[in-house]
C-alpha cells in the first residue's frame, strides 16, 4: 500500500498537508514568513558555527568577527 504525503492527517489540531492545500491563499503569507524565518535561523547558525574557522583562516580579531556576523 502506497502512502502519499497528502494523506497526512491533522494531529493535535495542527492541520495536515491536505488541509493546508485546501485552505487556499490565506495560508501563503504565514508559510512564506515561516520559511524565511527558518532560513534566517539556519544562516545565523551556520555562520556562528564557522566563526572559529573564519577567525583562523583570515587572522582577524574577535572585534572584526562582529562584522562577519552582521554581514
* In contact, 55 and 62? CB cutoff 8 Å: yes
- Phi then psi for residue 39, to 5 deg, are -65, -35
Domain ranges of the chain: 5-70
* In contact, 15 and 23? CB cutoff 8 Å: yes
**pTM exceeding the 0.85 threshold for the entire prediction:** no
Tell me what pLDDT residue 1 has.
46
For residue range 13-68, what is the model confidence (pLDDT) as tens digits?
666 666 666 666 777 788 889 999 999 999 989 989 999 999 999 999 888 888 88
Element holding 54 (H helix, E strand): helix 28-58
The residues near 20 (Cβ < 8 Å, ≥ 6 apart) are 27, 31
Amino acid at each position: 500500500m502506497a502512502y502519499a504525503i497528502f494523506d497526512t492527517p491533522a494531529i493535535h489540531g495542527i492541520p495536515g498537508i491536505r488541509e493546508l492545500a485546501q485552505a487556499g491563499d490565506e495560508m501563503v503569507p504565514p508559510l512564506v514568513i515561516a520559511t524565511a524565518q527558518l532560513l534566517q535561523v539556519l544562516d545565523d547558525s551556520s555562520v556562528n558555527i564557522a566563526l572559529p574557522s573564519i577567525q583562523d583562516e583570515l587572522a582577524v580579531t574577535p572585534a572584526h568577527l562582529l562584522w562577519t556576523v552582521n554581514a
